A and B are shown apart, each in its own frame.
Chain A
Amino acid sequence: MKTFLQVIAIGLSQGAVYALVALGITLIFRTTRILNFAQGQILMVAVFVSLTLNQNALKSIPLPIAWLIGIGVAVGLGVLIELGVRPTLKHSGSLGWILATVGMATIIQFIAPYFWPADDRLYPSPFPNDRGIPGLGSLFSQRQIFTIVAAFLLMLGVDWLYNKTKLGRAMKAVAIDRDAAALMGISAKATVRWAFILSAALTAIAGFLVAPLTFANIAMGFDLGVKGFVAAVLGGIDSARGAIAGGIMLGIFEAALPQVLDLVSPNLAKYPLPFVFALFILVLVFRPQGIFGTAIREAR
């Protein structure tokens, strides 16, 4: 029973983070029908910028301010990527965005070691002396609860943005038909810019929430980027709720997997990742629109 609850706790907190990364991916996809493959790298840079500012020998900057600066840098990178893909968005069917975003991811990943060492580093939490939640024993740590609650609030925000706001409707309209959107007075340029800005900010926050639970490592961007993508596709890449469900499912699946595999063979339990991808492939084969998504109809 205890193991089961622990699996849920870890699964929920990790899953909430995957969901946030997935939401960042869907924000851009919803507006442009492209995938930003540098999403994980943005997360990593935001984590390390804030970490360096907060923990350095010269002058420690308080965590909340370090977070804000980290978000600022992430947004800067997001806008840079948006400028990179902008020329390719005008021609539907162009695959230039793959080069632009994968290229950006590669560049960031290659530059990072010049700034930060490649080892695991502890990331500060708003709860430095974490004694767990009273009454729950050591089941849920305070930081896990913090991560889950913060992530859910952000998810509600994105859901509200999608369904209740002008910008949310405009994003969808721009993706379907840029010209028709322009005739409504919607500037595609501004809408796409907003999608990249919000996506980068969301991704940075996902990094701040996950790093205290794991470690900060300059390779973390790749891992979280891939899993965020898996979560987004699992749930249905076009919908906020789908991305959330996909993230949580992936988190719990991943947390439960070693326990289940351990029953079969302790050796298998060391390698959970192939099973994550196996699940991913199964979903792609049997339900390519995602578990909660609706199929995207080709425009005319």
Chain B
Amino acid sequence: MSTEIQFVGSRPPQEGITPPLLSVNDISVFFGPVQVLDGVNLAVWPGERVCILGSNGSGKSTTLKAIAGLVKPKSGTVSLGTERIDTLDPSQVVRRHLSLVPQGRRVFYDQTVEANLLLGAHTRKDKGGIKADIEGVCQRFPRLGERRKQLAGSLSGGEQQMLSIGRSLMARPNFMMLDEPSLGLSPVAIQDLFRGLAQLSAEGMTMLVVEQLASHALNLADRGYVLDQGRVVAMGTVEELRSSGAVMEAYLGKASG
């Protein structure tokens, strides 16, 4: 299979000027005999909001998992700054302030909200800072504050998503990846969620978001990549992607509105 990009909008504006924070270089991932990623390239610069779009099974989640270290690419490299991270265990990647909020939220449902947040701070030793950050998360997501002593499994989907994000924040990331954060949430919860993400981004968080709801993702992001069958088939600013009827129709349904 050849990697042909069918639609290229403008290249990232920082390209060639400043080094990217994250660069994914030509990675291929196999699950047994099945090739899921076929030479994916992408880069994210500090402070950017980048989205990855594409239909089911296009390899969006696998791309994030490969960056986080949960799956190992067969070829290609992933670098954070100047360091290669594709060989690291996921528990080491998070120590480099790169967090993944996994698909399906994956909260530890048999532990309390507070214990989940403490687990998020597993890599840290500064007790005072951890305490302050728990308060911070509870202020950011007041629903979590009200339910601190409740088991995570008893929360609603939207609250669990907040907890999953809050838990990731506890590691003090400067780069957050989110895998389908809106999946299974009510429309109101989705609005809350994207408001929260916009807030985080305004505070300087670099973000890489995988989303099926293209309209929400495009509202949040500056730039985007479109994946199809494990390959990057389009890239550009969100305006360019939106206005490219061919891209929207081929890969994203009629979600441009």
Contacts and interface: CB of A to CB of B under 8 A. Distances in A.
A166 B90 contact: no
Nearest to A179: B70
Interface stretch (B33-41, B118-126, B245-253): B118-126
B122 A185 contact: yes
Contacts of B115: 169
Contacts of B110: 172, 176, 294, 296-297
Contacts of B70: 179, 182-183
Interface string B86-113: 0001111011000110101011111100
A300 B183 CA distance: 15
B101 to A, nearest CB: 8
Contacts of B99: 183
Nearest to A294: B110
A182 B119 CA distance: 10
A130 interface: no
Interface in A126-175: 166, 169-170, 172-173
Contact of A169 (B94, B119, B123): B119
Nearest to B171: A185
A166 B108 contact: no
A186 interface: yes
Given A166-B122, A170-B122, A182 B108 contact: no
A176 B123 CA distance: 19
Nearest to B101: A183
Interface of B: 68-70, 89-92, 94-95, 99-100, 102, 104, 106-111, 115, 118-120, 122-123, 153, 167-168, 171
A184 to B, nearest CB: 5
Contacts of A166: 118, 122
Contacts of A172: 108, 110-111
Contacts of A183: 68, 70, 90-91, 94, 99-100, 102, 106, 168
B108 A173 contact: yes
A35 to B, nearest CB: 19
Contact of A184 (B69, B89, B92, B120): B120
A65 interface: no
Given A173-B119, A185-B91, A186-B122, A180 B108 contact: yes
Given A177-B108, A179-B70, A297-B110, A184 B94 contact: yes
Count class of interface residues, chain A? 20 to 34
Given A166-B122, A169-B119, A173-B119, A186 B106 contact: no
B171 A184 contact: yes
Contact of B89 (A173, A182, A300): A182
Contact of A180 (B69, B95, B102): B102
A189 B122 CA distance: 15
Contacts of B90: 179, 182-183
A297 B108 CA distance: 11
Which 9 A-B pairs give the minimum distances between C-beta atoms?
A185-B123, A180-B106, A182-B90, A185-B94, A187-B91, A185-B122, A185-B91, A184-B122, A182-B91
Nearest to A163: B115
B249 to A, nearest CB: 34
Contacts of B168: 183
Given A182-B70, A186-B91, A177 B119 contact: no
A176 B89 contact: no
Nearest to A300: B104
